[in-house]
Structure 1
Amino acid sequence: MKKGRNELLEEEEKILAPYAVGSRNPGEREYPEPEHPYRLPFQRDRDRIIHSHAFKRLEYKTQVFVYSEGDHFRNRLTHTLEVAGISKTISKVLGLNEDLSETIALAHDLGHSPFGHAGQEALSELMRGKGGFEHNKQSLRVVQKLERRYPDFPGLNLCGETLLGIMKHGGDYETSDLSDVRRDTGPSLEAMVVDSSDEITYSAHDLEDGLESGLLTLSDVKELKVWKRIEDSLPKTNPSDKDSISRSAGRILLNLMVSDLIDSIDSRLQEYSIHSREDVSFAFQNQKKLVQFSEGFQIEFKELKSYLFGKLYRHPEVSRMSERGKETIFLLFKHFESHPESIPESYRNREEEEGRMRIICDYIAGMTDRFAIEKLKREGILWFPY
């Protein structure tokens, strides 16, 4: 017998912990819509995100290595899928709403610029004093305004709890009502789990990609405290088989981090007597962090992040790629300022309302690395090989 909406809701309520966000209280959509007969609210949000143009473009947006460096390095899409998987795993074990966690994870980088963090730095510099640019805020802008899939409303019209989860760092977001709610109630546990899953995921896969690319060396990595734990679990293999070691190391590190985080969250939920969504908000307001590693692992994780920052993200080869990406964005931005006719009409239609700088920023932020490079060539702007 098929299950209707009520049966699905009842099944969910039997599984979810009392501090989870249930599908009966998903937060209002800005534009009222009838409920779906067999898809719960966060499932609908997830599907809308997956079918969006912004999600499809993540495949050709840089994580650390631009797409031309190789087919097997992570890109923004594979990173997003890994964050979604980790978020679901943690949420399932802790009785949280997997659908909400997955949805937030799938949306968390929709506003990321091309060329990774170098692209964000470039747009942030160009938009200084003109409204700024930050990819988490841009992700919210994408799902509320920039996506155009529905004739009845702009954006994707997602649930309130989904939008609050996308507001990763809180702060001054464009939608003031949501900002007030985010400051007053704080993020859901599901949103906090996604935030930590993001850090876990990129730390593990950047270490793996760095080793596999040869930009990181095993001799350096072995100096890390966390490597001692990884080494104990490495399969006995040929020491010269560096690819096998790097892939195994990434997998083992991921498991170590996820396991520690789950145990730590579970302990904190008990320590702070968290029994409801209201308790989660109270803990947030009193600056009690519910989602973080154990004290010992925090030290190791901080050392790992510092190592990746110094040895990989600031590596001369990565810096070379980053500078080319930044230069591409600077050239495109200046070109569009003086040649607005090169901007698609769908963006130009908003110029009177939002100003030329913002629509240029929106257009470039939505580009893939590949499209940005091709646009340079098509517009006849100075171009250099990647």
Structure 2
Amino acid sequence: MFSSVQSARAPYACDPAHGRGRLHPEPPSPTRTGFQRDRDRIIHSTAFRRLMYKTQVFIYHEGDHFRTRLTHTLEVSQLARALARSLRVDEDLAEAVALAHDLGHPPFGHAGERALNRAMAPYNGFDHNAQSLRAVTRLEHRYAEFDGLNLTWEALEGIVKHNGPLVDGRGRAVGPYRDSGVPLPILDYCRLQDLEIARYAGVEAQAAAIADDIAYNSHDVDDGLRAGLFTIADVEEGVPFLAGIVADVRMRYPDIEDTRLIHETTRRVITWMVEDALAESLRRIERLAPGSVADVRAADAPIVAFSDAMTAAIEELRAFLFARMYRHGRVMAVMSTAEAAVVRMFEELLARPERMPQDWGHSGDVADIGRRARLVADYIAGMTDRFALSEYQRLFDETLDLR
């Protein structure tokens, strides 16, 4: 089922030769498609480089072998490309969306996002997907003729909508935005270039989204075991489908040591999830029979998805990880401290924007409190973990202990 060679492009694939273009028109490249240029621009961006020192679950100094935002992103991009190949859609676009999907994450993982969202509550909140859009459309200052990376419409659509539509047909927020509303940065951008947030993104973006699910669900088990937050016996007791995989590995390799057992289990989990996603997605493609990417966007359900059985198994795994990893006392203690530190930095810089670097705190946006708050959020969201620690020390003459 998994193809190592790109087959003929499916009729429902996004076609770089017939895309919707860029906000700022540019002449085509003689050597690369538009989606290949998108991928390359993301890789060369400052925001992408910063992912190296941004937390996935563990702060960067806790160990060199744990995932960071960068290594997670690379794993997602590999899976997204492989899924796209088997589904006969554009691999480069799937890879570009995968590479950009976490650019908006602030330092200290979800603790940093919670802190910024709380601090920004009076100013329309903070959302990492919206921040990823800001990174690639506004915050990167690399090109002489425009801010951002000037990505294709299809890449921007994927960044914003890879997890599905943001509003329903009546314009009411849905999914994760049902209670909070669609983030203002997304709505603001859509006034410049309509990303059709009531419709699904193409198959390529959907492949990137499910690749993200596969990557973090599998590698969080790996990292949690290696960090000693739980044991293989805990996994066998708490997650029945993983217990079956562990048993199969032990049956085949009865003398295997734990490090190899962990890896063998993880790789089988990835394979199982990938094969399930491909089988279910091909069933949905056969049922819908989309003749174009427009048919994919107009569908009433995602094309790329897990089966019901796999969805239930993943929920079982997430419940285990939430209880034994994300809410582990060791992790919570570090993240609680980090969250408080981010809020404190935000409040200080909002009150005294001149304490930001010259090219931030002295811009024309600081007079209006709402724009100033968004500017401060942009500044903090762009920080790596280690730069945030350094800035905290500079601002308060205190060393933040996250150990």
Q: TM-score, normalised by structure 1?
A: 0.91
Match of 1:293 in 2: 306
Match of 1:5 in 2: none
Structure-2 change in CA distance of 1:64 and 1:178 (3 Å)? farther
Cα deviation for residue 232 of structure 1 reads 4.9
Listed as ranges, the gaps of 5+ residues in structure 2 are 167-181
2:67 aligned with 1:53, yes or no? no
Which of 225, 235, 240 aligns to 2:240? It is 225
Q: 8 Å contact 2:24–2:150 — kept in the other structure? A: yes
Match of 1:302 in 2: 315
Percent identical: 40
> What is the distance in 2 between the residues matched to 1:281 and 1:366?
32
- Within a 5 Å distance, the mapping from 1:77-226 to structure 2 comes to 77-168=70-161, 169=163, 170-171=165-166, 172=182, 173=186, 174-177=188-191, 180-223=194-237, 224-226=239-241
2:267 aligned with 1:272, yes or no? no
> What is the distance in 1 between the residues matched to 2:7 and 2:387?
47
Instruction: Describe the SS at the equivalent of 1:55.
Output: helix
Q: 8 Å contact 1:26–1:42 — kept in the other structure? A: no
* Cα deviation 1:284-328 (Å, max 9, x = unaligned): xxx223221112211111111111111110111111121121122
Q: 8 Å contact 2:113–2:128 — kept in the other structure? A: yes
* Cα deviation 1:106-152 (Å, max 9, x = unaligned): 00011101000010000000000202100000000110000000011
Match of 1:8 in 2: none
**AA at the equivalent of 2:381:** A
**AA at the equivalent of 1:310:** A
Which of 6, 10, 21 aligns to 2:14? It is 21
Match of 2:385 in 1: 369
**AA at the equivalent of 1:302:** E
Cα deviation for residue 180 of structure 1 reads 4.8
Cα deviation for residue 337 of structure 1 reads 2.3
CA-atom RMSD in angstroms: 1.9
> What is the distance in 1 between the residues matched to 2:6 and 2:294?
17
> What is the distance in 2 between the residues matched to 1:251 and 1:301?
15
> What is the distance in 2 between the residues matched to 1:175 and 1:109?
18
Moved more, 169-178 or 365-374: 169-178
**AA at the equivalent of 1:383:** T
Match of 1:238 in 2: 255
> What is the distance in 1 between the residues matched to 2:16 and 2:293?
13
Q: 8 Å contact 2:22–2:151 — kept in the other structure? A: yes
> What is the distance in 2 between the residues matched to 1:276 and 1:372?
46
Cα deviation for residue 163 of structure 1 reads 0.2
Match of 2:176 in 1: none
**AA at the equivalent of 1:345:** Q
Match of 1:39 in 2: 32
- Within a 5 Å distance, the mapping from 1:251-270 to structure 2 comes to 251-270=267-286
Match of 1:4 in 2: none
* Cα deviation 1:72-129 (Å, max 9, x = unaligned): 0000000000000000000001101000000000000111010000100000000002
Cα deviation for residue 375 of structure 1 reads 1.1
Q: 8 Å contact 2:6–2:85 — kept in the other structure? A: no
Listed as ranges, the gaps of 5+ residues in structure 1 are 1-11
Q: 8 Å contact 1:233–1:252 — kept in the other structure? A: no
**AA at the equivalent of 2:229:** L
> What is the distance in 1 between the residues matched to 2:330 and 2:356?
32
Q: 8 Å contact 1:92–1:98 — kept in the other structure? A: yes
Instruction: Describe the SS at the equivalent of 2:17.
Output: coil
Q: 8 Å contact 1:164–1:178 — kept in the other structure? A: no
Cα deviation for residue 194 of structure 1 reads 0.8
Structure-2 change in CA distance of 1:41 and 1:253 (3 Å)? same
- Within a 5 Å distance, the mapping from 1:65-80 to structure 2 comes to 65-80=58-73
> What is the distance in 2 between the residues matched to 1:279 and 1:32?
26
Instruction: Describe the SS at the equivalent of 1:15.
Output: coil
Structure-2 change in CA distance of 1:231 and 1:144 (3 Å)? same
2:349 aligned with 1:336, yes or no? yes
After TM superposition, what 4+ stretches of structure 1 lie above 6 angstroms from structure 2?
none
**AA at the equivalent of 1:263:** A
> What is the distance in 2 between the residues matched to 1:13 and 1:81?
20
Cα deviation for residue 184 of structure 1 reads 4.5
2:337 aligned with 1:324, yes or no? yes
Cα deviation for residue 29 of structure 1 reads 0.7
> What is the distance in 1 between the residues matched to 2:195 and 2:49?
30
Instruction: Describe the SS at the equivalent of 1:355.
Output: helix
